[in-house]
Amino acid sequence: MPSPADAPAGELSLLAGFDAGQTHTCCLLAWAEDPGAPGLNEPGSAGPFQVLAEGEGPGVSHLAAAGGPERFQAALATSLAAARQQLPSAWRHLPLAAGAIGASGIEVGSPVQRQGLALAAAALALPPERLLVTGDERTALRGACGKGPGILVISGTGCIALGQDGQGREHRCGGWGWLLDGAGSAMDLGRDGLALAVQMADGRLAETELRSQLWQALGAETAQEVKAMVVAPEFGPAGFARLAPVVNQLAAAGDPHARAVITASASALAGLVVGVARALELAAPRVCGVGGALGHLDQLRLGFGACLARELPGATVVEPRGDACWGALELAHSLAAGPAAQEPG
């Protein structure tokens, strides 16, 4: 690794890539220009830069939520400061050349994106033209597929699919919020399982272990208690998502209602990918599946693979080449390279 003493003062500067999630924010730092050392930590083949440090900070909330702007700026500033602390002391105050932030709830071209850009510029002391603030699905797509064609499907508390054709076109399916569009997510698994459970409780369906296991997970004894719990402001999509592992476990054990819920969500996830592939005219896309639900719920993952093979037989499921924070760092590198290399936000 080169020493700052080997370069004239002011020659070295840094790139910052951020993945701002609801639970924590990750920041990666790299050289804006490779000073000659071999790259470190590049996923796949060697990249255009080397990662120098990683830092973590608190999570973010939607910018329209109470305290959202303050949380967003604190997450960026704290994770950047933590990453700088991992650098040799002589490098900790080097300027940033560019930064890119992927955060949930940032729609391209929206007022929220413009607000996020202004907040990030202030928090990171960078001019807006050296910053990109975008949805975390876009940084995750870049990390997973690079600049080449491919489709990323994310299933966690919510779900979304985003793809690119390698020629500059992108298309997105899903991700329109849990009240409108949650099929394929952990939230939907929990909500649909619970909907069947209350039908068991009032006699519309024959009872299986699904009802008793979900009641136990909630600490409830009656349908009335369940109703009161799910309408509480703090329950929300995360409350439903916490029930998804119960549904997954019962599906694996053969519970017919749990299996039906899993099958419906797996089909919905495959439908997101098919929609993206159709829009981008990708007959045989490389598909990366990520997110907590796909990663931890084996019945959903297996069902998704089976549905995708049936509905889009040319698709190949592959491991992502990098994560969302790496994708943000690559987008920051494009910004630092100048207008000719910049990509749409």
- What are the residue boundaries of the structural domains of the chain, listed by start? 4-146+323-341, 186-317
Cβ count near 12 (within 10 Å): 20
Tell me the fold of 186-317. Nucleotidyltransferase; domain 5 (3.30.420)
Q: Does the pTM exceed 0.95?
A: no
Q: Do domains 4-146+323-341 and 186-317 have the same CATH topology?
A: yes
State how far the Cα of 294 lies from the Cα of 270, in Å rounded to an integer: 12
Calpha distance 326→156 (Å, rounded): 19
Please give the class, per CATH, of domain 4-146+323-341: alpha beta
Q: What is the pLDDT of residue 34?
A: 54
Per-residue pLDDT of the chain in tens (345 residues, 90 and over written 9)? 444 444 434 568 899 999 998 889 999 999 987 544 433 344 443 355 678 999 999 999 889 888 999 999 999 999 999 999 999 999 999 999 999 999 988 988 999 999 999 999 999 999 999 999 999 999 999 999 999 999 999 999 899 999 999 999 999 999 888 889 989 999 999 999 999 999 999 999 999 999 999 999 999 999 999 999 999 988 999 999 999 999 999 999 999 999 999 999 999 999 999 999 999 999 999 999 999 999 999 999 999 999 999 999 999 999 999 999 999 999 999 898 765 445 556
Cβ atoms 295, 258 nearer than 8 A: no
The letter for the amino acid at 172 is R
Q: What pLDDT, on the 0 to 100 scale, is given for residue 340?
A: 44
Q: What is the pLDDT of residue 305?
A: 97
Alpha-carbon gap, residue 84 to 311, rounded angstroms: 47
